[in-house]
Structure 1
Amino acid sequence: MKTKSYHMFIKIMAIFFSTYLGNFAFAEKPFGQTSVTALNGIPSSFISLGAYHPTFAMVVEKNFHRLSVFKLLPDGNYTLVRTYLAITGKEQGDKKQRGDNRTPEGIYFIVGQKDSSELLRQMGPGARKYGPRAFMLDYPNIFDKRQRKTGSGIWIHGVDSDARMLRPFDTEGCVALKNEDIIDIAQYVSAFQTPVVIVDEMQTISMAAIQKQRQNVIEMVEAWRKSWENSDFAKYISFYSDHFQSLGKNKEDWREFKAKLSETRKGSITVQISEPKILAFRNQLLVEFFQRYTSPERDDFGRKFLYLRQENQGFKIIAEKWYNSQKGKTDLTVLNDTKKRQD
């Protein structure tokens, strides 16, 4: 009986290692400038990466234990730059609550980083498990909060020993890379700009399908922009979900807020936006762009985030965020170039 059990154990382990180490070899291999057409399409999450800052994006595939870095090319195609071995949460499935040891799934941004010295100073000897560096993700995002997901502190980090990388599901919800890889990946990271899409398995679609989706979203955003600029609030509010919430305001509060601003200003406004970054995940769309708002009283410049969800009448805005920032020469050039394309 023991002999049969032993042979069965050996067979199971052989299957595991042949499957997992196959993924390990794939993840270790740099892909160079391989076109994603070799991967039967374009990552379906990357509808557009915009055109105004470093156009790198990342996909974490939990089922395949890998993190892939893509770069947007001038022709709208994508290049697979590099793929790394990655391990994720001890428990499989999407993160729902604090302490469930699951890695969240969705659209996230890298919003900061800490090196080993800073980690040790803040957390003590226990920080060694994060290796030489950690990148912070913005979990929970707006979509997560609307689904009442809890928890925080989801990072992409190194490890205390590369031997840990032989255990594919071994973190408390973070994404872990080998230490040499967590150092290497820094060259592709721009804080608050590099998106990281976390999925079980990456889906790809054709260039034609991506272009159609991109055009549909851009046309919708342009119609939203024009309705705001023209103070057409009946049209403007039609882009918003009945479940919209931002700045403590619901959909009707938001319409009244915008209408009152229009009534009190002394003249017309101009709203310029850059080519948007458009990211998709399941029934969610995240649209982000530079925006310049000018009126006789003010001149505001910054980044706008629109969070949209698929509803019966198409995608609707459930929330938006605005980050005021300094106008840079490059940013204003992009706005001017975008306005020429709109004209």
Structure 2
Amino acid sequence: MKKILSALLVGFVGLSADDRLLEIMHLYQKQGLEVVGQKLDSYLADKSFWAEELQNKDTDFGYYQNKQFLFVADKSKPSLEFYEIDNNMLKKINSSKALVGSKKGDKTLEGDLATPIGVYRITQKLERLDQYYGVLAFVTNYPNLYDTLKKRTGHGIWVHGMPLNGDRNELNTKGCIAIENPLLSSYDKVLKGEKAFLITYEDKFFPSTKEELSMVLSSLFQWKEAWTRGDFERYMRFYNPNFTRYDGMKFNAFKEYKKRVFAKNEKKNIAFSSISVIPYPNSQNKRLFYVVFDQDYKAYQQNKLSYSSNSQKELYVEIENNQVSIIMEK
């Protein structure tokens, strides 16, 4: 918020810092907090704001508003790296060799012996497993929304240890990622139950650029602005013609559904927080990004609350020809 307020102050060209603050106070006094909020929203929708915000950040693996831990697996080596990200500064904790599935490329079917390519959340820790899986296992959310809508099957993709009896002759897993037990235990002590993501790729990782992240973040708030103001045509322009919603609804059906919702002419208050934007590796080498954030949504009719929700929102977006579009949403 301090960064946003600083940007707002700078927006009043030719005034001293005190005069700028006074100008904001006058704006608040004459037109109220809602107008000040709209002014702040306009900065969040401006790519130049995000370019400045990201200027001195480590952004190869994306943008994270909250402290995060990150596993990065290269299937081609294979290896597993472990990072801490705090205030978007990247700290490598360790890296090691790893075992992965024998099949190259995407995981598409149950039992195909492939480690999936993409971005996954670590959802839980399992202990007291069969000794074959070592001291513990971190469970991923494979299949994620992207996999599900691509009709990929399978389950139980873990980051786990080596057999406790030392009897492991296989050079590959059935699709999981396996590392030595002492190292896995040390990662568990660092995590302490905190949130973590897993990025998996093969052969070459294409880091996110500050330009790309600025585009995605500013587009996110432009989309929110159109949504809040009930600008249906502008809102729909953020969606890719090949868009699919989490339940399989395609672009045309989604457009008709949203047209009915927008026709209610509800006043909306929408707030985004805890935003993460992560480059999404894929075998088509498209510039895809996984965007996840907390969304507080309230709608009003005749000044009465008509709908309220507080949930985690997931978007998969694509950058093509310098345009950001939503290809999947939940």
Name the TM-score, length of structure 2 as normaliser.
0.71
| Residue identity opposite 2:234 in structure 1 | K
| Residue identity opposite 1:293 in structure 2 | Y
Give, in angstroms, the shift of residue 129 of structure 1. 1.1
SS at match of 2:241: coil
After superposition, the Cα gap between the structure-2 partners of 1:164 and 1:213, relative to the gap in structure 1 and judged at 3 Å, is farther
Question: Distance in 2 between the 1:188 and 1:165 partners?
Answer: 27
User: Cα deviation per residue 1:56-113 (whole Å; 9 max; x = unaligned)?
Assistant: 2110112333211122243x33111222332111333332322221211111111222
Equivalences for residues 239-258 of structure 1 within 5 A: 239-246=238-245, 247-258=247-258
After superposition, the Cα gap between the structure-2 partners of 1:190 and 1:94, relative to the gap in structure 1 and judged at 3 Å, is farther
After superposition, the Cα gap between the structure-2 partners of 1:166 and 1:188, relative to the gap in structure 1 and judged at 3 Å, is farther
- 2:146 equivalent to 1:131: no
Query: What is the aligned counterpart of 1:72 among 82, 85, 88?
Result: 85
Give the conservation status (yes or no) of the 8 Å contact 1:227–1:235: yes
After superposition, the Cα gap between the structure-2 partners of 1:57 and 1:228, relative to the gap in structure 1 and judged at 3 Å, is same
Give, in angstroms, the shift of residue 311 of structure 1. 4.8
Question: Distance in 2 between the 1:192 and 1:241 partners?
Answer: 34
Query: What is the aligned counterpart of 1:303 among 279, 299, 312?
Result: 312
The alignment covers a number of residue pairs equal to 263
Give, in angstroms, the shift of residue 253 of structure 1. 2.4
1:47 corresponds to: 62
2:223 corresponds to: 224
SS at match of 1:173: coil
After superposition, the Cα gap between the structure-2 partners of 1:85 and 1:313, relative to the gap in structure 1 and judged at 3 Å, is closer
Query: What is the aligned counterpart of 2:199 among 180, 197, 200?
Result: 197
Give the conservation status (yes or no) of the 8 Å contact 1:43–1:203: no
1:114 corresponds to: 126
1:332 corresponds to: none
1:24 corresponds to: none
After superposition, the Cα gap between the structure-2 partners of 1:187 and 1:239, relative to the gap in structure 1 and judged at 3 Å, is farther
SS at match of 2:62: strand
Name the TM-score, length of structure 1 as normaliser.
0.68
Equivalences for residues 183-332 of structure 1 within 5 A: 183-189=185-191, 193-201=195-203, 203=205, 210-246=209-245, 247-264=247-264, 267-274=266-273, 276-280=275-279, 281=281, 282-283=285-286, 284-296=288-300, 297-311=306-320, 314-321=323-330
- Structure 1 residues without counterparts, runs of 5 or longer: 1-40, 120-126, 322-343
Question: Distance in 1 between the 2:206 and 2:241 partners?
Answer: 32
1:88 corresponds to: 100
2:20 corresponds to: none
After superposition, the Cα gap between the structure-2 partners of 1:314 and 1:73, relative to the gap in structure 1 and judged at 3 Å, is same
Give the conservation status (yes or no) of the 8 Å contact 2:243–2:327: yes
My pick for the range that moved more, 230-239 or 278-287, is: 278-287
My pick for the range that moved more, 279-288 or 311-320, is: 311-320
After superposition, the Cα gap between the structure-2 partners of 1:212 and 1:159, relative to the gap in structure 1 and judged at 3 Å, is same
| Residue identity opposite 1:272 in structure 2 | A
Give the conservation status (yes or no) of the 8 Å contact 1:227–1:233: yes
Query: What is the aligned counterpart of 1:101 among 97, 113, 128?
Result: 113
Question: Distance in 2 between the 1:258 and 1:307 partners?
Answer: 19
Question: Distance in 2 between the 1:259 and 1:192 partners?
Answer: 40
User: Cα deviation per residue 1:3-37 (whole Å; 9 max; x = unaligned)?
Assistant: xxxxxxxxxxxxxxxxxxxxxxxxxxxxxxxxxxx
Question: Distance in 2 between the 1:153 and 1:233 partners?
Answer: 40
| Residue identity opposite 2:161 in structure 1 | G
Structure with greater helix percent: 1
| Residue identity opposite 2:148 in structure 1 | K
Identity %: 24
Give the conservation status (yes or no) of the 8 Å contact 2:69–2:194: no
SS at match of 2:219: helix
| Residue identity opposite 1:56 in structure 2 | F
Question: Distance in 2 between the 1:320 and 1:189 partners?
Answer: 29
